[in-house]
Structure 1
Amino acid sequence: MPHSVGLRKGRISLTNQIYLLTATVENRQAIFSDLAPARLLIRELYNAQASGLAESLAWVVMPDHLHWLVSLQKGSLSELMHRVKGRSALQVNSRLGRQGRLWQEGFHDRALRREEDILPTARYIVANPLRAGLVTRIGDYPFWYVVWL
């Protein structure tokens, strides 16, 4: 069974449920190291919220992947990620003059079941650039957001 099919097995999309979503760039290319492509992806995260699909609680755009903590507002996780990944791929490919897939097929999701899991998960997300050695202070990394600030 291909890995992406396994990611969908047992996936449930519940309105107002909080999920940690992770999507990875095809071949783990560091596409989002640069400001322009990262901003195009970030714009799609904001567009998904403005469209009422999801409420963003926290996110970080890493050079080769995205972590996104959301409260699903309508539709399914697959619809949400298809929209964000599809629209960001069109924008990024156009901007960079590239063709082909931007994102690996599928995405990982984890439902947060307890209220006390939310803040530690948000901290984990925004500390990702520190753990990766990209910065020495969280505030030095430009591509993250958390609703509680």
Structure 2
Amino acid sequence: MPRTARIVLPDYPHHVVQRGHNKQVVFPETSDFEHYLADLQELKAVFDVKVYAFCLMTNHVHLLLAPGDSAAGLGQLMKGLAGRMTRHRNKLEGRSGTLWESRYKSSVVQTDIYLLACSRYIELNPVRAQMVQRAQDYPWSSLHLRLNEFPKNNWLDESPGFSELGTNLAERITHYASFMEQGVPSSELQLIRGALQRGQLTGSPKFTDEIEEITGLRITQRARGRPAK
């Protein structure tokens, strides 16, 4: 059966997940997490891709990315990240071969009502995995950057949804922290997971119509539901 064509659009956010080959651990050491994040910070500028959220788990990564004028930047970024990390681990272990699954999963995300929901889903991964009790205690997600009141040290891009949470940074941080404390409703969890697994859009039927018009593709399966407010 042929692969489903991946939909990648310039200037739209995309929820991306890449897993280790055969679910193997890709970040066995603290230095591995640091290495990947340094590469992400560097390559996002090289390929003109905004990073709205991320969470590095032991055997996979969640990223919320928005390519600029060229949709190809997303694939180039993911290829660069995967290649650098593979070479890094292979050198340390004195081995060769693949580190990641051959194909990452991605879903275009509707900006106005789903973007913040997707950010929350990503940053709460360590809590759902029972690795920490509070999301802010996990060091390898974007949350500690998002809640940073000193933007000079923050390389995370501010998403449109986050910008609308308040008139200044302090207000936005307070409102987002409250939003995180609400957790992810089960319906929202299923919607985001289903869209990603099937390569669908994370959005409303109206959003699906919009993307069909842009791409000229018929997207027959639609994830139903709406993020909780």
Once the two structures are superposed, the pairs formed by residues 48-127 of structure 1 within 5 Å of their partners are 48-73=43-68, 74-76=70-72, 77-127=74-124
Number of residue pairs matched by the alignment: 144
Q: Assess if the C-alpha contact under 8 Å between 1:23 and 1:66 holds in 2.
A: yes
- Aligned twin of 1:11: 6
Q: Aligned letter for 2:12?
A: Q
Residue 34 of structure 1 pairs with residue 29 of structure 2: yes
- Aligned twin of 1:138: 135
Q: Assess if the C-alpha contact under 8 Å between 1:33 and 1:62 holds in 2.
A: no
Q: Tell me which of 122, 125, 128 is aligned to 1:128.
A: 125
Q: Assess if the C-alpha contact under 8 Å between 2:51 and 2:63 holds in 1.
A: yes
Q: Which has the higher contact order (CA 8 A, sep 6+)?
A: 1
With structure 2 as the length reference, what TM-score do the two structures score? Answer: 0.58
Please list the CA deviations of residues 112-145 of structure 1 after superposition, one character each: whole Å capped at 9, or x if unmatched. 1241100010000010001011111112211111
Instruction: Supply the distance in 2 between the matched residues of 1:34 and 1:46 (Cα, whole angstroms).
Output: 19
Q: Assess if the C-alpha contact under 8 Å between 2:18 and 2:101 holds in 1.
A: yes
RMSD over aligned CA atoms reads 1.8
Check 1:112–1:29 CA distance in 2 against 1; reply closer, same or farther (3 A cut). same
Check 1:96–1:13 CA distance in 2 against 1; reply closer, same or farther (3 A cut). same
More strand by share: 1
Percent sequence identity over aligned pairs: 27
Larger Rg: 2
State the Cα distance separating 1:75 from its structure 2 match.
4.4
Instruction: Supply the distance in 1 between the matched residues of 2:120 and 2:94 (Cα, whole angstroms).
Output: 35
State the Cα distance separating 1:37 from its structure 2 match.
1.2
With structure 1 as the length reference, what TM-score do the two structures score? Answer: 0.86
Q: Assess if the C-alpha contact under 8 Å between 1:58 and 1:144 holds in 2.
A: yes
